[in-house]
Structure 1
């Protein structure tokens, strides 16, 4: 992987992140599946499907979860467990190519394809094809989520989008993370242009979770995304003490997601049949 790309996709951080992937059972999760999903360009993606309480009121809601640019899906299992316990939904965690146990090398076009592969899997799987879906992305995962929802909102099965501490574009983020690189931003081929894609989302409500102490993505990125969002409804949830990686620990974080999902479910009570 080119050095510049390794800065954007540090899949080797923390140490052993490509080989040491915590499993759901280590966090007391018992009803889950470990999956390997093929992409149409030949990669094999690792994934977890975690079931919520069977027969519960949100048993037909699945959160499709995309993590940030370091670590692996196993490191986010405490978040998935909280989503299951708080909302009673199912959670599908996809591992990007070149991360964790997935094959391949990460890049923008590849991760876009990986996200579509995950959504198509849920749409095709008998258990989930009639589920209402909430797409949830943190940091880089937010950019992945924006691209996915913009492309798939017409189908009617995505009822909500949750974005946490994501950025306007990679080119606008790099100067604040690596100041000497600000002169090289035009050479960055990993664009992730959320600021130009997000306004195209006009059929799916959006929740913005912004850690106001974020030291990686300046909080004004999230605020500008909120301002340009043209969704049918949008919610701004500031997390005053939250930094880039600790926002999930802030009071009200999961309650905000739970309330958002409840509102989306109330306003869109029935999932549309698969096309």
Structure 2
């Protein structure tokens, strides 16, 4: 075999690899086939289940109302987006203590996850979160001037996309990325092949409100440098660094909830503020 033929076969194989990567990348980013709906878990009694309508079908949302509303009967709201290997079912038991801190929580399922219709794409996820926001913002028990967006891992992309479409009082990015484009290098592929880039860095660059960035120093899924760059780029950011990996961040929820409550009530971030806590593995 000549060098010309060898190079031809190698180039053809690489182009075929890129083709399959382009076609099937969403199955890697959103592994819905491997994320089943868990059997009925014990959920808080005050949990409300609602459905929102989108162009591709119905999307499920769960609402945890605050147990300590303000004098006017309204409370701040956290719109929460989970990771790509999870469903909303596992989160109410973790987030329920926030209700006792005077915070409401809205959990929005991704299209194609759990019992929700559609397919998980950046466009569909954005549409689902916008529909859920529009449903929640008019609730009489929600303070529309204090709605915060909180995303974990891929959820950071979901809430940044929402922040580009709807107003909010603050942004919480936990173990999330600057964009999905840099991850193309892991697969020896050019960045322009990424179909759902979730350019979080561009959003935080233009975001006018406080940003709380939370990241594990030893994150093996989304490197810590992503969190650092997000915090540096935001106009008003606070970076919380934990000595942990990806799925055990934060190591303990109760201390983090105190930080979260302070962020919501005071509505401000402190640039370059780094808080370190001992490693302690507690998974949601």
Fold conserved between structures, TM > 0.5: yes
TM-score band w.r.t. shorter chain: 0.7 to 0.9
1:191 aligned partner: 197
**Structure-2 change in CA distance of 1:129 and 1:61 (3 Å):** closer
CA distance in 1, matches of 2:247, 2:132: 24
1:64 aligned partner: 79
1:9 aligned partner: 30
**Aligned match for 2:237, one of 234, 239, 243:** 234
SS in 2 for 1:124: coil
Give the ranges of 4+ consecutive aligned residues of structure 1 lying more than 6 Å apart after TM superposition.
none
Whether the 8 Å CA contact 2:48–2:62 is kept in 1: the answer is: yes
For residue 129 of structure 1, report the CA deviation from its aligned partner. Answer: 6.5
After superposition, the C-alpha distances for 1:210-247 in whole angstroms (9 at most, x for unaligned) are 111111000001100110112xx32111112x211111
**Map 1:36-185 → 2, pairs under 5 A:** 36-39=51-54, 41-55=55-69, 59-85=74-100, 87-128=101-142, 130=144, 132-153=146-167, 158-175=168-185, 179=186, 181-185=187-191
How many equivalent residue pairs? 245
**Structure-2 change in CA distance of 1:151 and 1:36 (3 Å):** closer
Task: Mark the runs of 5 or more structure 1 residues left unpaired by the alignment.
Answer: 266-275
After superposition, the C-alpha distances for 1:129-168 in whole angstroms (9 at most, x for unaligned) are 6462111111111111112113323xxxx22211101101
For residue 113 of structure 1, report the CA deviation from its aligned partner. Answer: 1.0
Whether the 8 Å CA contact 1:59–1:90 is kept in 2: the answer is: no
SS in 2 for 1:64: strand
RMSD of aligned residue pairs (Cα, Å)? 2.3
**Aligned match for 1:34, one of 24, 49, 66:** 49
SS in 1 for 2:238: strand
**Aligned match for 1:264, one of 264, 267, 275:** 267
TM-score when normalising by structure 1: 0.81
**Structure-2 change in CA distance of 1:172 and 1:82 (3 Å):** farther
The reply on whether 1:201 has 2:188 as its aligned counterpart is: no
After superposition, the C-alpha distances for 1:5-46 in whole angstroms (9 at most, x for unaligned) are 1100112334x23xx3645xx14x12121111111x142011
Task: Mark the runs of 5 or more structure 2 residues left unpaired by the alignment.
Answer: 1-21, 269-284
CA distance in 2, matches of 1:54, 1:22: 27
SS in 2 for 1:209: strand
TM-score when normalising by structure 2: 0.79
Whether the 8 Å CA contact 1:211–1:243 is kept in 2: the answer is: yes
Whether the 8 Å CA contact 1:13–1:71 is kept in 2: the answer is: no
After superposition, the C-alpha distances for 1:65-99 in whole angstroms (9 at most, x for unaligned) are 111112200122233213224x2211110111111
Larger Rg: 1 or 2? 2
